[in-house]
């Protein structure tokens, strides 16, 4: 089911992206809608998949995984069995917070969160023991200039 977003839907989404703990009363007031109309719009956007879920965003430093690593991967294999193994392996590794298949020189980029370089080394060994890779390189993030989950509306 597709859902065409209007101005009010986008206002509601912007509010939810900023703070999902807002009550329907707060959202409806800020969006200029009645409580029931606002609730119905939110439900429609949830049912259509526009709102994919609601989560708590954690501070990685406070929970013990301050090191942010970008892992660049090249592989010599692209057959279905390798792809399946790679996907299954990456999906179950909690250190991997994002995984992307790329165009260009790189095949994959992983965003990884770990406690320190030693934890990254353990992650690297775990990954490379389960999957055949032709090249793996990592860049450690020195400073996060912008990190957001909010999408442009």
Per residue of the chain (153 residues), what is the pLDDT tens digit? 567 999 999 999 999 999 999 999 999 999 999 999 999 999 999 999 999 999 999 999 999 999 999 999 999 988 999 999 999 999 999 999 999 999 999 999 999 999 999 999 999 999 999 999 999 999 999 999 999 999 999
Q: Do domains 7-47 and 67-140 have the same CATH topology?
A: no
What pLDDT is recorded for position 148? 92
What pLDDT is recorded for position 3? 74
Which CB contacts under 8 angstroms, 24+ apart, belong to 35-44?
Answer: 38/12, 41/8, 41/9, 41/12, 42/12, 42/16, 44/3
Q: If you classify domain 67-140 with CATH, what class do you get?
A: alpha beta
Q: How far apart are CA 92 and CA 82, in angstroms?
A: 16
Phi-psi region of 100 (alpha: psi -120 to 50; beta: other; left: phi over 0): beta
Architecture of the domain defined by 7-47: Orthogonal Bundle (1.10)
User: Domain boundaries in the chain?
Assistant: 7-47, 67-140
Strands, E assignment, the chain: 67-74, 96-101, 108-114, 135-140
What pLDDT is recorded for position 97? 97
At 116-151, the pLDDT tens digits run: 999 999 999 999 999 999 999 999 999 999 999 999
What pLDDT is recorded for position 1? 55
């Amino acid at each position: 089911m597709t859902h065409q977003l209007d101005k009010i839907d986008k206002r509601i989404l912007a509010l939810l992206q900023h703070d999902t703990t807002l009550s329907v009363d707060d959202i409806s007031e800020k969006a200029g809608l009645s409580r029931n109309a606002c609730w119905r719009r939110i439900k429609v956007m949830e049912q259509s998949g526009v709102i994919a879920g609601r989560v708590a965003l954690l501070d990685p430093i406070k929970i013990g995984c301050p090191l942010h690593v970008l892992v660049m991967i090249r592989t010599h294999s692209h057959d279905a069995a390798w792809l399946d193994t790679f996907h299954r392996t990456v999906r179950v590794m909690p250190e991997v917070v994002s995984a992307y298949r790329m165009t260009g020189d790189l095949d994959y980029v992983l965003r990884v969160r770990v406690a320190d370089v030693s934890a990254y080394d353990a992650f690297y060994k775990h990954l490379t023991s389960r999957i055949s890779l032709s090249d793996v390189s990592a860049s450690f993030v020195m400073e996060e200039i912008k990190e957001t989950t909010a999408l442009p509306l």
